[in-house]
Amino acid sequence: MDNNEEILNQTIELIKIDSRNGPHAEDKITDYILKTFSSSKLSFDVIEHENYRKSLIAVFSGENSSRNLLACGHLDTIDISTVKINKDKSINTEIKDGRIFGLGSSDMKSGIISILFALKYLADNNIKPKYDIAVALTGDEENNKTGAQYLLKSDLVKKTKLMLIAEPTNLNLGLGQKGQIWLEVRFKGKQAHGSVPDKGKNAILMEMNFIQRVLNPELFTKNNRFFLKSTINIGFIHASGPFNVVQDDCVAGFDIRISPPETIQDVMRKISSILSDDYKKSEYEIRVIDSLNASFINPESKVSVQLKSIVDKNVSGKRKIALSYATDGSVLNTHLNIPVVILGPGTPEVIHTKDEYVFIDNIIKSVDIYKDIFLNLDKII
């Protein structure tokens, strides 16, 4: 495309907008996109969610509206306290060594820009795709996935045959993503004075024993060569103290990422089995905060082959991969069985850090890739 400077400038402007996750996070960025990218061919609807969150939804009409491709990105960024904020309250952004640095550069404002400029190409050249292109720029992805939850109830997805998410993959073709379970396990012991620990039952030690059990390398097996093994991260462990009390209450948070063919049900059976083997029912409580199954598209399917050929046309050395993280697509795949492809310009290794960046060349190439996908929907979906 011949508007590379405009693409670069708009990417920088989008990164500068502070949309860190929280109430009103999407206000400024939605206003900016509406002002800059709305047209007669792409008119956005602002969806206002609870807790002052917003999403942008639009449909780019094709020749045939019997089905659609859902192009998706999220408007919010992770909220980290170490990010550098300028005097005008914008996110500090700079260009260095062929990269744009700034919070949200990879995750995923460069992906949003790529979708918008690919659609702008179609609009400016009065091109109608074969099928509708639905656009969902969601809010609250980094926390409760409020925007994705809205899509579950929307008529928009009733005709969706493929979801294309511009999350960071370094332009590798993401055909799978791990599932996710967030759960809390609370143990209830018996309180006693710290000088006589044998007179009580320490809930912290009960929690530690359980953690050791679930961290057993044999708990999960690598069942699919396309995916890494399922993993468990201990996000937090908490007991109220003080020093001289045998604690009778302790809670820990677990972030479990699931690889197929294991499912949410499989994992929860393993967790429940460990608990019932080692503890009385009255000694523990388990609370599932969130659960999403893994998604997977056969690497040899028509969708995969066609998309890989488009990627190969525009950039060399890219692979078909499975991702370790979950996306908005995990919500739709789990509840509606909509296939999900993840393909974006960002660099996964640097997301959620104060030194986040995106390669400029990746942004330019991703616009061309999305444009070619939109022009070849009849071969893909």
pLDDT number for residue 226: 83
Q: Which of 121, 133, 160 is nearest to 329 (CA)?
A: 160
H-assigned helices in 17-129: 27-37, 110-124
Question: 160-165 and 64-74: which strand pairing?
Answer: parallel
Give the containing element (helix H, strand E) for 152.
helix 146-152
Answer whether 158's CB lies under 8 Å from 65's CB. Answer: no
Per the structure block, which two tokens stand in for 112?
Answer: 């949003």
Per the structure block, which two tokens stand in for 329?
Answer: 């697509």
Do 4-177+295-380 and 179-292 fold alike per CATH? no
Question: 160-165 and 245-246: which strand pairing?
Answer: unpaired
What's 325's DSSP letter? S
pLDDT number for residue 326: 86
Answer whether 249's CB lies under 8 Å from 188's CB. Answer: yes
pLDDT number for residue 224: 67
Q: What distance in Å separates the CA atoms of residue 18 and residue 77, rounded to the nearest whole number?
A: 8
Q: What distance in Å separates the CA atoms of residue 45 and residue 306, rounded to the nearest whole number?
A: 31
Which CATH number is associated with domain 179-292? 3.30.70.360
Task: Give, in order, the Cα–Cα distances in Å from 322 to each of 38, 109, 173, 343.
Answer: 34, 22, 8, 11
Task: Give, in order, the Cα–Cα distances in Å from 326 to each of 73, 106, 161, 179.
Answer: 13, 15, 20, 6
Strand partners, 162: 69
The low-confidence residues of the chain, meaning pLDDT below 50, are none
pLDDT number for residue 260: 85
pLDDT number for residue 228: 86
Domain boundaries, the chain: 4-177+295-380, 179-292
Helix-strand-coil split of the chain, %, nearest 5: 35, 30, 35
Q: What distance in Å separates the CA atoms of residue 89 and residue 37, rounded to the nearest whole number?
A: 23
C-alpha dihedral, 73 to 75 to 81 to 86, nearest 10°: 120
Which CATH number is associated with domain 4-177+295-380? 3.40.630.10
Q: Which of 185, 181, 144, 327 is nearest to 264 (CA)?
A: 181
